[in-house]
A and B are shown apart, each in its own frame.
Chain A
Amino acid sequence: MPTPDNVVYVPKPSPASFDKNRPLARNLLLQAHVQHIHEAESHLPPERQSGIDPGSIRTEGEAADYIRRVTYALHPEGARRERVRRAT
């Protein structure tokens, strides 16, 4: 049971910290992630590939969009279960 002594308030992060236009070049991990996603995409049938040139991706938001498209092709179940969850 919560008591005043054991409840810890966790503030919400500031919305101002959101920046989908942050340059991809500033994040070594996301740069590599795009490469890995591209490798996985190259094994998909052409009709399921995104048509996006990973070399054209400049921002975190663009990287996320590319990653979403390929992940959907690899794991559509993830998106379907998410829609079901929202609907219920």
Chain B
Amino acid sequence: MDINEKIEAFLTGQLEASEIQAFENEIRNNPELAKEVELMTDLHAGIKTYGKNQTKNIIANAAQTYHTEQINDTTKILEPEAEIDHSIRWGRWALYIAILAAIAIASFFIMFNETTPKTAPELYATYFESYIPPSGQRSGELIGYDLKGMADKYRAEKYDELIAQIKNIPADKTTNYMRILLAQSYMSNGNYVLAKPIFGEIIDTKDPYFTDHAKWFLALNHLKLKEVDTAKSTLVELTKDEGADHYEEAKEVLGELGEE
């Protein structure tokens, strides 16, 4: 091994402990070698900085791609179509009129409903919408479970099958993604009592992706079971943070329950 190879091995951590000690002694007693090692250390650091700068450029380009796609998506929604055939135009007018009529009817019902407070189970029925977490929360794939398959089962309303599948997974391998599907499956089957502790487990993990959702569904669960005070306190927690998921809905439900 020539001296350059030895310096390289020293700087890239390829020497044994005894060799490192011997080489360090050599550096201490040889100023020329010390200078060479210092230069090579700088070169390695400089190459890494160069590489990082290249990566920063790639990331900046990716950011630009992402933001441009977002703008294009928005523009597509806002842009009128270039050529519209007259029949389509008349069809659209009919659609606008239908929408206005629907809004008028809906307004009437809303006004009517304002004078008739909803019961807790009615609030549950109004506000419950099932939630399937997006792909960002699929850490379960790391431990070999087919989360997409579970979500598909949930969508296909195969609740019993899904409950059996998730309950069969060892507790230490069960992720919040699975728990949220499991609890909602129980709710869909009418087993509101069984769903409650599962939402509690999710809340205890303080998982930023799932905690707000779990609180929201837990509150709805309490409403379904006519546990109004407990529902209120869970909803109040959600309204403490304006950025929380379901913040607006929680405020609305509290309003319906006579809480400001």
- Is A bound to B? no
